[in-house]
Structures are given as C-alpha cells and as structure tokens.
C-alpha cells in the first residue's frame, strides 16, 4: 500500500510536539511544586545565614537592623520574628508580628503540638512545612537559634505556589491543545512545500522509466532537492540522447542484417540463375563437341555447322560473363563514374549506325530524326551502353510493322531519351520486374535470340550511379523505354555526382 510522505511527516512531527508538550505538562503538574519548595529552601537558608551574620544584634540600632532585615525579607515575601534569650521580642519592635513571635515562643517552649512536615534539621535550625491553625494556610518555615543566642522564625507562604501550579497546568493544557492544532496546520503546509519537489521527482522518475524523456523538473531551488532535480533533467537528456543513439545503431544494425540477408539471397539467386543460364550452352557445346569427336557426320558442311554452334554458344557465355562482371562492378560501386559534357545526338547516331546491319536482318526500321545538338552531363561510355541495350532490346522484341523510334525530349534542366518499338506490350504484372537481373518475360523467345536477362539490370545500375531515373511504358502497339540525363548549362551537380 502506498504511503504518503506528507502524512508520515505530519504524524511524526505532530507526535513529537505532542510528546514534548505532554512531558512539559506532567513536569509542571507533578514536579513544579517540589522544585519551588527546593528553591524556597535555598532562599530561607540564605535568609538564615543573613540573620546569623549579625552576631551581636545589640551593637546595631533598632532602625538600622529593621531596615536591613526588612529589605531582605520583603524581597522574598518572608516574615521574621526574633526573640532574645529571655524570650523578649527583638524584632519586629511593633506588634505587626506578635502572632509570629508567639508561635516562636511556643516552639522554644515546645508548646506547639501540631503536625509538622520536617524538611531539614541541623544543630542551629529546623526547616518544616506547617499549617497555621488560625488562618488554615500552609507555610514553609525555619526556626532555631542564632549564633548570638537569639531565637528566630522565618516563614514563607506556600498557598500561592500551589495555586500557580494549578493555573499553570491548566493554561499549559489549553496551550498544548492550541499548539498541537497550530503545529498540525504549519507542519502540513511546510511538509507539502518540502515534499512537493520530491513528489515531482517521483513522477519524473516514473515517466523516465516509461521512456518519456520530455518530462522535466520545474520546481527549481538552490537546496539539495533542487540540485537533484537539475541532475534528473541532465540524466533525462543524456538518457534521451543515449536512447536515440541506441535506436539509430539498432536501425543501422537492422539495415545491415537485412542487407546481409538480401546479399545472401542475391548470391543464392545469382548462383541459381548463372547455373541455369550456363547449363544449356554448356550442354550444347558438350553434345556437339562429342559429335565431332565421334565423327557422326563426315561431310564438311556438318562439321562446319557443329563448329558454328559451339562457337556461337561459347560467344553467348562470354557475353553473359562480361555483362555479369559489369553489373557486379556497378552494383558494388567498384566502377568509376567519369562525368563529362558531350553531345548526346552524336552518341545516339553512332549506336543506330552500329545496329543498322542487325536491323536490316530483322527487316526493321530505326528512326532518329534529331538534328540539333543536345549536350548532357554523364559518363559517355556508360550512356552509350544504356542506349545500346535499349536498341538491342527493341530489335529483339520488335514485331508487327517493325518500327523502332528514338526521340529526345527537352525538360527543365534535363533531357529524356525514349526508345519505342512496335510489338506486344509487356504484361502489367511484369513491368516492374524487368529490371531484375535474369528476369525474363518470355523465356523461350529470350533464349531464341540469346538474351540473358541482364541488359536492363545494367541499365538500371548505370542510371542509379548517375542518380537519374529510367523506366518503361506500355502502349497498345508496343513498348517505350526511357531514361533521363542532366542537361544544365552550368553543371552545378557535376562534383556531387562524380562523388556518387
């Protein structure tokens, strides 16, 4: 069960105050009178010593003696009676203390038989508590013989102290109740002020435990609690930074794990695809080589055909290996990209001219009507490879009227090159997959013209190295492939792309 610190402090401090006040009341009620009597005993002894210091009362005039004794006794509310050896009153001279003198005379003659509470007794005096039978009042008194032989009696009333003790005890009881109530109010106010920052720190630590680092200590203060709050704020900031760094590192680790998994999957896929692509040409080469060895056909035409098949298949494998090496260098960033400004029109015309013989064999027409110079920023050799791949892909899939059309579209600071060929559109579900290496939409037809499914993957890797886009669009009568290049006059992004 949760216990409030404020309640605990209120209970503890209130109990301590109540205990102190109760102890004070008990001491006042049971020990104050005894303490008073003890103090009065001392006063009476001092008064006796004062009287006894006058060894010869006769050597003083009556007025001088009266003045000295009266001053001492009046100061301490003491009444005095002195008799000489013959029981003749020496002090006071008037009749104001006649009754007290008579009491002293009775003590000397042992005529008084009332019960006394003797406090102290010596050879010179007896100190006792007594009650006056005429007034019914309690007194403390001391009587005896001075060194000069005179009898003396010193009396002090006790009734006032007992009344004072009662009044004091009653007042202290009321004062204690009031003090406790006032103390409870003050303690509640003070403890709340003290525990408020502690409560705030408790809530702050709870929110920090729940990873809420926006919580801050706001109560301030220059004491230890304020400093603790500042340390909590610094700890919260440090934990937030550490947690952020940990999440960043975790994300990077997750990316590395995903990348490693992806690389492993790519490696497995690559080995599977390469094995599949090499399996057929190797089998053909092996079969035709065995046929030549066993001289299945002795005529020159058959041997020449066998040799051409072997050479053709070996050439296909060689081309595929070269493309794989190129793609590997592009994907892993091992190939250097040399950015330069060149005329794109001249490059495309060169590719079209190189492909004219293959186009004639396929009875296809390649149209490129651009006449104005178009300058771009890129790696000229790699752009030529992109255009060559697009044109070769178009020649391999051209059908129908067998038209291939190449265009240059000028955009804002860029140019877009499009290569369109008539024929069957690419199925919609395969349009985004054609850039994956070894992916083939029509495997039978791809095998027919010797395709490996790597050409478009090389195009995608080259364009990624340029930080440019490429894509394909279906039309009713064919397919259009496109790519973009930087055509800005200043070439401000030259350095950035070179580093990329």
- How far apart are the C-alpha atoms of 264 and 272, rounded to whole Å? 12
Per the DSSP assignment, residues forming a β-bridge with 473 are 480
Nearest alpha carbon to residue 430 among 472, 387, 475, 476 = 472
- If 0-12 CB within 10 Å is exposed, 13-18 middle and 19+ buried, where does residue 450 land? middle
pTM: predicted TM-score of the whole model, two decimal places: 0.42
Q: What is residue 474's predicted lDDT score, i.e. its pLDDT?
A: 94
Q: How many residues does the chain have?
A: 500
Cis peptide before 92 (omega within 30 of 0): yes
Helix axes 300-331, 224-293, angle to 10 degrees: 170
Give backbone dihedrals phi and psi of 498, rounded to 5 degrees, phi first. Answer: -65, -40
Q: What is the pLDDT of residues 328-345, one digit of tens each?
A: 666 665 567 788 999 999
Q: What is residue 420's predicted lDDT score, i.e. its pLDDT?
A: 96
User: Cβ(54)–Cβ(190) under 8 Å?
Assistant: no
Ranges of residues in the chain whose predicted pLDDT is under 50? 1, 55, 57, 443-447, 449-450, 490-500
- How far apart are the C-alpha atoms of 435 and 286, rounded to whole Å? 32
Q: What is the pLDDT of residues 6-55, one digit of tens each?
A: 677 777 777 877 787 777 777 777 777 677 778 888 888 888 887 777 64
- How far apart are the C-alpha atoms of 309 and 281, rounded to whole Å? 9
Q: What is residue 391's predicted lDDT score, i.e. its pLDDT?
A: 93
Question: What residues have CB less than 8 Å from 417, skipping those under 6 apart?
Answer: 344, 348, 387, 406, 407, 408, 409, 482, 483, 484, 485
Q: What is residue 442's predicted lDDT score, i.e. its pLDDT?
A: 56
Q: What is residue 481's predicted lDDT score, i.e. its pLDDT?
A: 96
Q: What is residue 496's predicted lDDT score, i.e. its pLDDT?
A: 41
List the Cα angle 39/45/48 in 5-degree steps. Answer: 145
> H-helix or E-strand containing 7?
helix 5-52
Q: What is residue 50's predicted lDDT score, i.e. its pLDDT?
A: 79
């Amino acid at each position: 069960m949760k216990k409030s610190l404020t309640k605990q402090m209120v209970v503890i401090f209130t109990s301590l105050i109540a205990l102190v006040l109760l102890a004070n009341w008990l001491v006042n009620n049971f020990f104050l009178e005894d303490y008073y009597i003890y103090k009065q005993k001392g006063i009476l002894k001092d008064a006796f010593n004062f009287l006894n210091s006058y060894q010869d009362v006769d050597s003083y005039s009556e007025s001088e003696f009266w003045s000295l004794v009266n001053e001492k006794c009046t100061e301490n509310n003491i009444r005095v009676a002195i008799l000489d050896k013959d029981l003749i009153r020496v002090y006071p001279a008037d009749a104001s203390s006649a009754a007290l003198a008579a009491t002293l005379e009775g003590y000397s003659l042992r005529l008084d038989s009332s019960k006394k509470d003797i406090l102290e007794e010596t050879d010179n005096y007896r100190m006792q508590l007594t009650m006056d039978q005429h007034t019914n009042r309690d007194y403390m008194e001391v009587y005896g013989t001075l060194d000069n032989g005179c009898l003396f009696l010193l009396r002090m009333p006790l009734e006032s102290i007992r009344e004072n003790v009662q009044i004091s005890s009653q007042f202290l009881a009321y004062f204690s109740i009031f003090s406790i109530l006032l103390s409870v109010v003050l303690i509640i106010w003070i403890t709340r002020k003290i525990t408020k920052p502690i409560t705030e720190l408790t809530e702050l630590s709870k929110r920090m435990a729940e990873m809420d680092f926006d919580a801050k200590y706001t109560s301030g203060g220059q004491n230890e609690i304020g400093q603790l709050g500042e340390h909590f704020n610094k700890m919260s900031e440090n934990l937030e930074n550490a947690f952020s760094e940990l999440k960043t590192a975790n994300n990077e680790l997750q990316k590395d794990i995903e990348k490693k998994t992806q690389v492993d999957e790519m490696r497995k896929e690559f080995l599977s695809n390469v094995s599949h692509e090499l399996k057929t040409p190797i089998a053909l080469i092996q079969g035709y080589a065995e046929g030549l060895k066993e001289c299945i056909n002795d005529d020159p035409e058959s041997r020449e055909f066998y040799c051409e098949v072997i050479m053709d298949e070996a050439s296909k494998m060689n081309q595929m290996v070269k493309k794989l090496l190129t793609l590997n260098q592009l994907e892993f960033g091992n190939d250097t990209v040399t950015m330069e400004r060149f005329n794109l029109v001249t490059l495309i015309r060169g590719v079209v001219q190189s492909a004219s013989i293959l186009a004639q064999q396929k009875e296809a027409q390649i149209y490129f009507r651009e006449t104005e110079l178009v300058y771009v920023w890129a790696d000229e050799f790699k752009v030529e490879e992109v255009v060559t791949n697009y044109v070769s892909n178009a020649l391999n899939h051209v059908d129908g009227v067998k038209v291939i059309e190449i265009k240059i579209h000028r955009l804002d600071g860029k140019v877009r090159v499009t290569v369109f060929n008539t024929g069957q559109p690419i199925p919609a579900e395969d349009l985004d997959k054609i850039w994956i290496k070894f992916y083939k939409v029509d495997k039978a037809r791809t095998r027919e013209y010797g395709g490996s499914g790597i050409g478009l993957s090389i195009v995608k890797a080259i364009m990624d190295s340029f930080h440019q886009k490429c894509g394909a669009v279906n039309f009713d009568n064919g397919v259009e492939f496109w790519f973009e290049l930087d055509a800005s006059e200043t070439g401000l992004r030259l350095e950035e792309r070179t580093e990329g």
